[in-house]
Amino acid sequence: MIPDRGPDTLAAVIVVTVIATIFVAARFYTRIWLMGSIKQDDWWILAAWIVAVAFSTSICVGVEYGLGKHKVNIPDDSFASLRKAEYAFSILYNPALMLTKTSIVVFFLHVMSRDVDPVFKWCNWLTLLLVNAIGAALTFYNIFQCRPVAAGFLYPTPSGAKCSDIVNLYLSSAPVNIITDIALLILPMPILTKMRLPRKQKIILVLTFSAGAFVTVVDVVRIAYLQDAALDRLKVVKGDGQPTRVVEENDFSWYASPSFMWSAVEVCIGISCACVPSLKPLFLRFMPLLIKDAGDTLTQNGSVDFGRTNQSAVSNLPKGNVSMLNNPAAFRPPSTPEYCGDDDGDQMGFVNMLTKTPSSDMAGLERTSTRRSRRSLAKTTTSDFKFVNMSKKNMLKLSNKQSIWPIAVVTLIFFLWGFAYGLLDTLNSRFELVAKLSTDQGLGLHAAYYGGYFIGPLTLGRFILKRYGFKASMIAGLFVYGCGTLVFWPSAVLTSYGAFLVSNFIVGYGLSCLEIAANPYIALCGPLEYAEVRLNLAQAFQAIGTVCSPLLATKVLFENVLDAPSLVDIQWTYLGIALFDFALAVIFYYIPLPEATEEQLDEQADRRSAAYGRTIGPWKVIYVTLGIGVFSQFCYVGLQECIGNNLEPLISLVRPHSGLEPFTFQTLGHTVFMAGRFLTALLNFLFKPRKVLLVLYVGLVVCLALQMHLGADAGAAIAMLTFLFEAGIFSNTFASSMRGLGIHTKTGSAFMTAAISGGAVFPPIAWAVSKGHGLRYSYCVPLAGAVFGMIFPIYLALVPAAKVQIDPIHERRMNQRLPGFSEQGGTDSGLDSNVQKYGLAGMITRRGKRGEGDGHSDDATIAHLEKPANNERRSRPMSPVFVVDFADDKIREISPAPASPTSTPASVDPRPAKGYVAALALWPQDEDEGGSHTRTSSANNAAKDDGDIAVAQRRPVWEGGDEDPDDYHAIMRKM
């Protein structure tokens, strides 16, 4: 029996085409007969259906002339017609997808973008541009796949003609399809999940718009068949005594038929899913039980019947459109005004479209609806990105215990990019082996990755971080990173060095958008004095990723990647990474995390304005510290990459006959690096971070100098010790350079992250030196980088203004334990200077001062006075006071009564207390202003009673909840 895949292909294509036709017909029936109007997205889906039918027809014609059979089983007179059919469906595939996705985006723009944040609108326009630009480019590429063009559909192929491989082209374009499919799937979800609708309706809406996930699954299956087709035509031949070679077999009609069948399935299912959201009025008309709530029935006139238990109550319900009753959001004002119609009054808002019940007078209701121009909608001046539900809690005021959860979430991101870097580094080496790249080309891949780190923070990263916050920047970075991993597919399929450069660049670009937000987030989330400790701990988990991923890549994923076909196999690893990134970004959106606005950052810096406002020459010390820190970070990352790249060659040089492989030494070095970061976190807790940083640099310089001269076991040991000293330098430099920037913190983070691009500069220099003078001598390059980088800790040690800026102090602990401590750096409090010290000395002194601080309240200022009153009555103050009930924010002035020995003690506030009820003395006035307050009693009584505060037992629940409840200034700022 002749093997033939044609019948299966024909049956599947006909079935999915019929299904798509039914959905399109139902859509137009709903629009014309139930809704009374046709929109732009309907015309786009109609055009997509026409192209899809032509695409399916070309496949059916191809099956008739031999598609699905081996070439040897096809009659000679069928090849000409088969070639024309192949040319037709290779051209029609991309336009069908392009028109379908255009219809979906136009639908989003039509019913959603006018009701939500403008960011959603611009994301839709970007997706629309991407879909049409790439779709048009691929279409024209398919049209001109051969030179001359006629060679694409002529059989036999004219002599001298050159044609592209259509299977490789489909595989190369697969990442774009997956990216746009996921974008169309994710874009409406934040809006749908925020809608105030009954649970059943919300679940139905989410599932309806999630139908596109099935298209993504179909696309992945199609890619699997395309990959099989690509591998089937490549036959690995092993000859006796001859090297293995790959021979291409020309049997296109056999190995490409399943992939074309799944292409038709993808197109037709995509059209069907695009029609689903428009069919709700149809289901409400004919199958209302699928959508309406249990127990509710729709009467003939459109009213609601709740089980018909109370006819009088039912008769009072409104007739006609029941969307108000099905939508609880209609009873309270939405945060963003809903779009109810354009200049013609024939468009519906998104909520109404999803909840309106079709009726005979619906068209009339639409025509008589109130007209509202888009200009009448209030534009929000401040945006929370609408894809990012920022928590209102101020992360700058979290305690160590409160900051555990958000830091744990962001630490997962650190592990992710450490894992990704390890995979990329291993894959780069495999790609260099398969593609037979030279060393300078390998360095080019490395430079492309770090080039993304230079451009990303200064463009997209800084823009999103400053405008939308830390969380939004991390989400954007995850999406860009996932796109970069998908771009690896054309790199592997085409074995293209240029495509691999682009893939590395996009991955670095995305990770830089992650790092520009994640590093300062860890440093700022919690007490500022522990910024270096937190960042080193988080970076230690990144190091764990760099240990695990090379082991996984070398021993499992890329073990047998020795030729081009095997390089194609590992694309599934990167598909998994990309899907994980996209899923993590969606989950990350729904995780509530505290934030910090630029105003809050500026307020935090103002607390130590005396320290941060100092100058070094004409510049503020904070800007000098940032500039030197950026230069130091640039040098450090460069030397770190030099050390990492040279480790395996160095071990091969100093221990050529070792029982351990160089890769094992590299894994050991990464493990020591990870342990070094944990150790640095501990040292930062016990000692000042600037001193720890100086010790690390000194040890690194010594190790690199010894590395140039030692060999054998001593050389290998020094190589491991180098990883220990370099481990904590990055985190300490980053956190110290950012301290005190205030409103410029996010810009400072952009410069610090861009400094990571030093990894693209130093390795080529070290390779050139190694090529001319040997590997050991090339260690002079990282040694020079360490010497230049050590300028930063030396600057911190020698410049007094930098010391005051960088050295952490326990502000919050001082306020809690020692009420007399000043918020302005503590310089005027008159306390022992050791109390403010960081590390062991400060901890010992603060414990000794705790008891003394309890008795320090006699001289306390009004900023920290709080005396419980247990509902006892107090004598009326002798100076004018304001009685403040902090629960209802009412302030009343009480005039003092003359002191009388027989007077009965009066209550400060006879009303029942609602929250903090306090008698607060007026702010001290100058002597020349005292005349305005003639009601003030004697100085002795005023001095005695000025600090008295009557506090009720219950405390109010503040919205912010972050401030110290004993801090008078924080309470007054809140009021």
Indicate whether 871 and 776 sit together in one domain: no
Q: How confident is the model at residue 92 (pLDDT cuts 50, 70, 90)?
A: very high
Q: How confident is the model at residue 236 (pLDDT cuts 50, 70, 90)?
A: very low
pLDDT, one tens digit per residue, over 38-82 is: 888 899 999 999 999 999 999 999 998 888 888 888 888 888 898
Domain boundary among 347, 374, 401: 374
| DSSP string covering 324-343 | HHH-GGGGS--SSPPP---T
Does the reported pTM lie above 0.75? no
Indicate whether 232 and 337 sit together in one domain: no
- The partner residues of 894 in beta bridges, in order of sequence, read 881
Tell me how many degrees the CA angle 148-149-151 measures, rounded to the nearest 5: 75
| DSSP string covering 617-659 | TTEEHHHHHHHHHHHHHHHHHHHHHHHHHHHHHHHHHH-TT-S
Q: What is the CATH number of the domain that holds 64?
A: 1.20.1070
* Strand 304-306, strand 917-921: pairing: unpaired
Q: What is the CATH number of the domain that holds 431?
A: 1.20.1250.20
pLDDT(331) > 90: no
Indicate whether 283 and 301 sit together in one domain: no
Distant-in-sequence, close-in-space partners of 582: CB < 8 Å, separation ≥ 6: 182, 186, 478, 479, 482
| Whole-number CA gyration radius for the chain | 35
Judged by DSSP in three states, 462 sits in: helix
In terms of Cα–Cα distance, which of 141, 222, 132, 221 is closest to 180?
Answer: 132
Domain membership of residue 741 (yes or no) is: yes
- Lowest mean pLDDT: which of 30-34, 101-105, 927-931? 927-931
Indicate whether 115 and 263 sit together in one domain: yes
Instruction: Please check whether residue 721 is in contact with residue 710, taking contact to mean a CB–CB distance below 8 angstroms.
Output: no
Q: How confident is the model at residue 897 (pLDDT cuts 50, 70, 90)?
A: very low
Mean pLDDT on 899-922:
43
Indicate whether 361 and 405 sit together in one domain: no
Indicate whether 674 and 799 sit together in one domain: yes
How many alpha carbons lie under 13 Å from residue 144 in its C-beta half-sphere? 5
SS (H, E, C) 556-574: HHCCCCCCHHHHHHCHHHH
Distant-in-sequence, close-in-space partners of 357: CB < 8 Å, separation ≥ 6: 281, 284, 298, 302, 321, 322, 323
Domain boundary among 290, 305, 339: 290
| Per-residue confidence (pLDDT) for residue 390, from 0 to 100 | 43
Number of domains composing the chain: 5
| Percent of the chain residues topping a pLDDT of 70 | 68
| CA separation for the pair 332, 338 (Å, rounded) | 12
Indicate whether 275 and 370 sit together in one domain: no
Indicate whether 588 and 621 sit together in one domain: no
Indicate whether 286 and 301 sit together in one domain: no
Domain membership of residue 714 (yes or no) is: yes
pLDDT, one tens digit per residue, over 804-819 is: 999 887 665 555 544 4
Domain membership of residue 758 (yes or no) is: yes
Domain membership of residue 383 (yes or no) is: no
Which token pair is 933? 């307050």
Q: How far is CA 699 from the centre of its chain?
A: 36
Domain boundary among 808, 824, 851: 808
Q: How far is CA 710 from the centre of its chain?
A: 45
Indicate whether 565 and 435 sit together in one domain: yes
Tell me how many degrees the CA angle 936-938-939 measures, rounded to the nearest 5: 100
| Per-residue confidence (pLDDT) for residue 380, from 0 to 100 | 37
Q: How confident is the model at residue 309 (pLDDT cuts 50, 70, 90)?
A: very low
Domain membership of residue 939 (yes or no) is: yes
Domain span including residue 701? 605-808
Indicate whether 699 and 638 sit together in one domain: yes
- Residue 739 phi/psi, 5-degree rounding, is -70, 130
Q: How confident is the model at residue 277 (pLDDT cuts 50, 70, 90)?
A: confident
Which token pair is 89? 């469906």
Indicate whether 782 and 913 sit together in one domain: no
Instruction: Please check whether residue 70 is in contact with residue 251, taking contact to mean a CB–CB distance below 8 angstroms.
Output: yes
